[in-house]
Amino acid sequence: MPGEELELIRSSLLDFLTRELSGREQEFEKIGIPRDFVEKLAQQGFLAAAIPTELGGSGLDRPAYFTILMNIARFSGSAALRVMLLNGVIYRVLKKMGKEEIVRDIISGASSISIDTSLFTKFWAAGKEKFFVDPQAPMSIFMLDGQIVLARVSLKGSREFRPLGFRGLKFGDPQFEVSERVAAIKDSGKFVDSLMAEISGDIAAVAIGMSEAALEKAMEYSRVRKAFGVTLSSFQPLAFPLSIMSVQLKTLREFLLSDSGRSAADMIGIRELAADFAVVSSKQALQTHGGYGYIEDFGVEKFYRDSLALNSLFGEKIHSMTLLAKEYYGEEAGNL
């Protein structure tokens, strides 16, 4: 997509987010992402950004889709993850099952699908509760006997969790009966490996967007907040890391957005770098704010929580690192 078109998408998205989300970030975190916001996202073409137009999506290319994820994540990691789960996970699973038509109902809001996060987990702890996103949904993508199953479900109950991050989404351990088994992926291990590689750029985009917002807040605060008679920006322990992180951020963003010809290895690599960077940069932003950074109303600590959750939600680190090593070595590597 030409630069001007990308800039047009970015500016219209920012207008939309400023109008519909800015100032409501805490509300999103506390009560969940409002349905009307998701509907408006869909109407504007941002919700199903990367889904083909014939299925009701916007059919945008990766740089445009990543730009959307990044900018939504600057305001709300939860809202960005909602978009990413639809485009990156749900659509890809449905497509693999040959059931991509169902995505129309999800985009229109007529239906919804819960996702079992153990789908990404190679090593599941014995006896642990399941950890689903949107546990109340009438359809579900879940793991059963080593297969990824799509089913219509009848909900019997659900224990809700207050998660570390992305609190605007709902997480829980649903108890349901399968009322209709729609489809399944038998060789789930191989599919999950390819899915992990495919959504790496999506995860990186969310991480970069959160890092941008956290660093901006820290820079802004350090310019106005005074201690010992001078602004915080005068102190090397704050100004130096924030400055070098701004360069790191720019590098990550430019690498991701110019990705059209990049390999799977590059994308997995940038996921790891961006996700780690989100933790480091948001932690620095929190520290810069001192005690105020520790209070939810200041809107800084959520970036730290969200970035840590982002690192854990999509499988163990060793899983993506093993995929990365395999890509670079061209054979199994780092598997001990």
Partner 1 sequence: MDFNFEEKYEKYRATVRDFANREFTRELIETCDSGEKYPEELRIKTFNAGIMDFTDPWKVLIGIEEMCSVDESLGIAATTPYFGAEVLMLFGSDYLKEKYLSKVSQGKAIMGLAVTEPGGGSDVAGLATTATPADSGYMLNGSKMFITNGTIANYFVLLARTSVEEKKHHGLSCFLVDSSWEGFKSSKIKGKMGVRATDTAELQFSNVKIPKENLIGEEGKGFYYIMTFFNISRIYVAAQGLGVARGAINRAMEIVKAKGQAYSSQESVQFAISEMATRLEAARLLTYKAATFLFNFNPNPTLTSMAKYYAAETAVYCTEKALEITGTDGLNSQLERFLRDAKILEIWEGTSEIEKLVVARNLLKEGSVN
Per CB under 8 A, does 127 bind partner 1?
A: yes
Q: Could you give the CA distance from residue 50 to residue 84 in angstroms, rounded to a whole number?
A: 9
Which amino acid, 79? A
Query: 264 or 308: whose CB is closer to partner 1?
Result: 308
Per CB under 8 A, does 213 bind partner 1?
A: no
Q: Could you give the CA distance from residue 99 to residue 91 in angstroms, rounded to a whole number?
A: 9
Identify which range of 76-84, 140-148, 160-168, 207-215 contacts partner 1 by CB under 8 A.
160-168
Instruction: Give yes or no for a contact between 200 and 289, defined as CB atoms under 8 angstroms apart.
Output: no
Residue matched to tokens 């890092």: 211
Residues in 285-314 at the binding interface with partner 1, rule: CB under 8 A = 286-287, 290-291, 293-297, 301, 304-305, 308-309, 311-313
Q: Which of 27, 48, 52, 31 is nearest to 297 (CA)?
A: 27
Kindly state the number of chain residues that form the binding site for partner 1, as judged by CB under 8 A: 50
Per CB under 8 A, does 244 bind partner 1?
A: no
Instruction: Give yes or no for a contact between 70 and 260, defined as CB atoms under 8 angstroms apart.
Output: no
CB of 283 to partner 1, least distance (A): 8
Instruction: Give yes or no for a contact between 307 and 210, defined as CB atoms under 8 angstroms apart.
Output: yes
Selected binder of partner 1 within 67, 87, 117, 222 (CB under 8 A): 117
Query: 58 or 311: whose CB is closer to partner 1?
Result: 311
CB of 190 to partner 1, least distance (A): 18
Instruction: Give yes or no for a contact between 158 and 145, defined as CB atoms under 8 angstroms apart.
Output: no
Burial class of residue 9, CB neighbours in 10 A (0-12, 13-18, 19+): buried
Q: Count how many Cα atoms sit within 13 Å of the Cα of residue 238 in the half-sphere of its side chain.
A: 23
CB of 280 to partner 1, least distance (A): 10
Q: Could you give the CA distance from residue 275 to residue 42 in angstroms, rounded to a whole number?
A: 27
CB of 270 to partner 1, least distance (A): 18
* Six-digit token string for 80: 């960005």
CB of 105 to partner 1, least distance (A): 27
Per CB under 8 A, does 182 bind partner 1?
A: no
Binding site for partner 1 (CB under 8 A): 117-118, 120-121, 123-129, 131, 161-164, 171, 225-229, 235, 237-238, 279, 283, 286-287, 290-291, 293-297, 301, 304-305, 308-309, 311-313, 315-318, 321, 336
